[in-house]
Amino acid sequence: MTKLPVAVVQAAPVPLDFKGGIDKAVSLARAAVESGAKVVAFGETFLGGYPLWLDEAPGAALWDHPGAKALHRIMLEQAVVANDERLLPLQELADASGAIISIGAHERVRRSLVNNQLTFRPGLPVMDHRKLVPTHGERLIWARGDGSTLGVHQAEWGRIGSLICWEHWMPLARAAMHNLGEDVHIAAWPTVRESHAVASRHYAMEGRCFVLAAGLVQMKDELLDGLERVGGDAAARELLEAIPGEVLNRGGSLIAAPDTRVIAQAGEGEETLFAELDLAEVGEGLTSLDTDGHYARPDVFELRVDTRAKEGVNWLN
């Protein structure tokens, strides 16, 4: 297969309400698959919604803030967990259609939250990628991932992997992923503003791969509605109502080719981008640039990647 039909779903999540978010994701992913897509990409933390109050709500970072604590409790209660049965409809859709579905979620690992970009693969377990470094205010809610979830999936047509948001500005993370030989890369963002678009197109050029840069659309009113869906909380509502403005994430998703050109570009509303990727362009691009091969200097530079899971506590018999 040299021609690969793909889709980027740019949509508003259902904030905080994970069940509602999964129902919406399945509906949108099914529509994309029925239109022929073999890869379907959603943005960062589509399941649960991006925690915009960290950036937008005055006081959200204050110690012991009652609204921030309430929202954190709700996210822990709603977050997906390993082998979560609520995710089965996405796995079943992947199994039935043969499509690969990439979607972001808040995941609970023991008693902490992590940012996970889940990849649903036909006939295989879900592949995790947990964000290595939460960015700035995100460190208030998310723990760090480790090297055990840096990887790619080998599909019949090639290799696909993902990174989340500012991981695209981590040179060594990019180098590790380029070593794995991606043909298609999912760049998951909360919104694809200009700098995010630059990073996505640069990744396509550097990695000689196609990049699906997937962003969200998110409104303040949707945050408030999501809070009510999960039972509401007066302190959390007060925090969210203090957010200025109405449109908080504006989409901007795009699909970039290995030479950086934009194949498809979304606007600011909800829409699904479609494109047919000519995978022959990957090999053609490698003629002039292979950052992991003929453009590398292993005699000068060496990268070691620790792929062991870091549990912190190991119980021995």
Phi, psi (degrees; rounded to nearest 5) at 138 = -60, -20
Q: How far is CA 287 from the centre of its chain?
A: 30
What is d(CA 87, CA 89) in angstroms, rounded to the nearest whole number?
6
What residues does 96 pair with on adjacent strands? none
Is 165 a known active-site residue? yes
Count CB atoms within 10 A of the CB of residue 315.
5
Is 194 a known active-site residue? no
Residues whose CB falls within 8 Å of the CB of residue 291, separated by 6 or more in sequence, listed in order: 175, 178, 206, 207, 208
Of 56, 165, 167, 281, the catalytic one is 165
Residue 65 DSSP class: -
Of 38, 44, 107, 222, the catalytic one is 44
Is 24 a known active-site residue? no
What is d(CA 35, CA 58) in angstroms, rounded to the nearest whole number?
43
What is d(CA 71, CA 78) in angstroms, rounded to the nearest whole number?
10
Of 131, 182, 206, 220, the catalytic one is 131
Point out the residues that are catalytic: 44, 131, 165
